[in-house]
């Protein structure tokens, strides 16, 4: 599940890295993320030998838990933590860094906070993509909703490529092995 905000005005925003990564994985795999389900856009296919759903909640970031909760209930996932990878931006992580965790707090991220609240647990895998600039951020809300500068988009492509590889590694080898390979 990649977190983000729907709408063209957010397409290139830093907060939409989760959506961008879902789109990258879908494009690389020949999948379409277009079916509407539980206030989300969903695609289904095989990745690394696993039947996988690629999900982009359309609830806006701060209500992502509503979509996750609906999907977990609809598909009767008894242990969602074992079947869920949540992809989000992370303002506390330098731009270009990625961090995989098997569990953890929301870390101030409202989308993750919403998911934790909806599931009643913080026991799910997350892939955090760093957006922290090399200068102080005065208005974090404005910063995360602002678009990536065009000059950084080639670097962004490299980050998304590495992040897509990390998701595939989680599916293929498990979260612990992927953490040892991709966390810096």
Which one, of 105, 39, 44, 34, lies nearest residue 73 by Cα? Answer: 39
Find out whether 97 and 165 touch, Cβ atoms under 8 Å.
no
DSSP reduced 3-state for 80: helix
182, containing H or E segment: helix 175-182
Positions annotated as catalytic residues are 15
Using CB atoms within 10 Å of the CB of residue 64, give its burial: 0 to 12 exposed, 13 to 18 middle, 19+ buried. buried
Residue 43, CB-side half-sphere exposure with 13 Å CA sphere = 21
């Amino acid at each position: 599940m990649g977190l983000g905000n729907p709408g063209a005005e957010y397409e290139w925003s830093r907060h939409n890295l989760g959506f961008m990564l879902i789109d990258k994985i879908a494009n690389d795999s020949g999948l379409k993320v277009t079916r509407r389900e539980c206030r989300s856009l969903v695609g289904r296919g095989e990745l690394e030998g696993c039947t996988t759903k690629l999900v982009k909640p359309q609830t806006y970031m701060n209500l992502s838990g509503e979509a996750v909760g609906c999907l977990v209930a609809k598909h009767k996932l008894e242990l969602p933590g074992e079947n869920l990878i949540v992809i989000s931006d992370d303002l506390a992580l330098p731009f270009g860094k990625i961090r995989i965790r098997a569990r953890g707090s929301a870390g101030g991220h409202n989308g993750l906070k919403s998911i934790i609240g909806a599931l009643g647990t913080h026991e799910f895998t997350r892939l955090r993509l760093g957006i922290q600039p090399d200068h102080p951020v005065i208005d974090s809300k404005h910063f995360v909703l602002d678009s990536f500068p065009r000059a950084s988009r080639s670097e962004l492509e490299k980050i998304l490529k590495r992040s897509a590889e990390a998701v595939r590694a989680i599916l293929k080898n498990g979260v612990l092995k992927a953490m040892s390979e991709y966390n810096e």
